[in-house]
Copies of this chain bind each other. A is one copy, B any other.
C-alpha cells in the first residue's frame, strides 16, 4: 500500500469536479488511464470508495463528498505555500533580529528602525543592545540575524561590511571651552572617564591614548555615555564620546566639546552577519539603508562636509 500523495489528491479533486475521467484527465494534462489508476490507488490506500462508477456517469460517494471538502482545503493550503515562498523570495519578511553595540544604538537606531519599517512593512524588527562579544556569540548561535559593531571583528564565519567611520571627540567641563585641546599624552594625565570593561569603545579610547588595556591611574567606570557626560558636566573629569553621540548627549549638559587635531581618534562602524545567512542579499540592502540613515543623521548635525571641516579646524 503506497502512501497518500498530493498528486492523487489533485487528480481526485479534478475528477470530483468533472465527474468524468476523460475530462478530468484533460484538466490535469495527463492521459485517462493515468487518472484512472491513481484514483484506484487512492481508494485502495483509503480502503474506501470515493466514486461510484456508473455506466453513464461518475459520482462522488457520501464519503467522497466529505473527503473532497477537506482535500480542497489541503490543496489550497499547499498552493498558498508556494505563493508564500514566491512573495517572500526577494522581499525581506518576518522577523529581523539585529544587534547593536550600546555606543551606537541610542543615536542610530531611531532613524534606522523608522527607515526600515517604512521600506519593508512586512518586517518586524527585534533589537538587541549589548557588547560586541555577546553579539558575535548570538550571531553565531543564530539568535541574531545581523549586528552593527565596530570593525574589524575578524570572524571568518562572518561577513563584515563597512558602514561609516566616526571620530571621537573630547568632552570637557563647560568652563574648559576654548582651552587648548590636549594631545594624547596630555590626556593620559587627565582624569579620563570611560565605560566599564567589555565595551569596545572603552578599548578604542584607551588605544587612542596608547594605554591599551593597562589600567590608568584614575579611570572611573561609567555604564553609559550619558552617565559619563553627566559626570564630566559635574566637573569630575573628561571623557571621549563618538561624534554621533554629541547632539544627544550634550543637549542637557554644560560641557564643552573639542575635536582633536590629526591624528583624530576614530573607529569604523560596520554591519556583520553569518556568511551562511540565507538573507545575506537582503542584509546587504539593509546595510545600505543603515549607511544612508547614518549619513543623513550626521548631515543634520554637520550641515555640510565643508562646514564640518571648518568647525574641526576652528576648535582644534
Contact (Cβ within 8 A) B66 A84: yes
In whole angstroms, how far apart are the Cα atoms of A62 and B96 in the complex?
A: 8
Contact (Cβ within 8 A) A81 B67: yes
Taking residues whose C-beta sits less than 8 angstroms from the other chain, chain A's interface range is: 35 or more
Q: In angstroms, how far is the closest chain B Cβ from the Cβ of A2?
A: 11
Residues of chain B contacted by A65 (CB below 8 angstroms): 94
Among the listed stretches A53-61, A108-116, A164-172, A193-201, which one makes contact with chain B, having 4 or more residues with CB under 8 Å of it?
A: A53-61
In whole angstroms, how far apart are the Cα atoms of A3 and B8 in the complex?
A: 13
18 contacts between A and B (CB under 8 A): A3-B6, A4-B6, A4-B82, A5-B5, A5-B6, A45-B82, A46-B86, A47-B85, A49-B278, A54-B274, A59-B142, A61-B279, A63-B84, A63-B94, A67-B81, A71-B81, A74-B77, A77-B77
Give residues in A with beta carbon < 8 Å to B.
3-7, 45-49, 52-55, 57, 59, 61-63, 65-67, 70-71, 73-74, 77-78, 80-82, 84-86, 88-89, 93-96, 142, 145, 157, 274, 276-279
Contact (Cβ within 8 A) A84 B70: yes
Whether A63 contacts B85 in the complex (CB less than 8 A), given A5-B5, A52-B276, A78-B4, comes out as yes
Q: Of B53, B67, B279, which one neighbours A62 at CB under 8 angstroms?
A: B279
Q: Is the interface of A mostly helix, strand, loop or mixed?
A: mixed
- Counting chain B CB atoms within 10 Å of each CB, which of A49, A57, A63, A84 scores highest? A63
Contact (Cβ within 8 A) B89 A47: yes
Whether A85 contacts B279 in the complex (CB less than 8 A), given A52-B142, A74-B74, A77-B73, comes out as no
Residues of chain B contacted by A46 (CB below 8 angstroms): 81-82, 85-86, 89
In whole angstroms, how far apart are the Cα atoms of A52 and B61 in the complex?
A: 46
Q: Of B6, B62, B278, B279, which one neighbours A6 at CB under 8 angstroms?
A: B6
In whole angstroms, how far apart are the Cα atoms of A86 and B46 in the complex?
A: 7
Whether A70 contacts B80 in the complex (CB less than 8 A), given A85-B47, A85-B63, A278-B61, comes out as yes
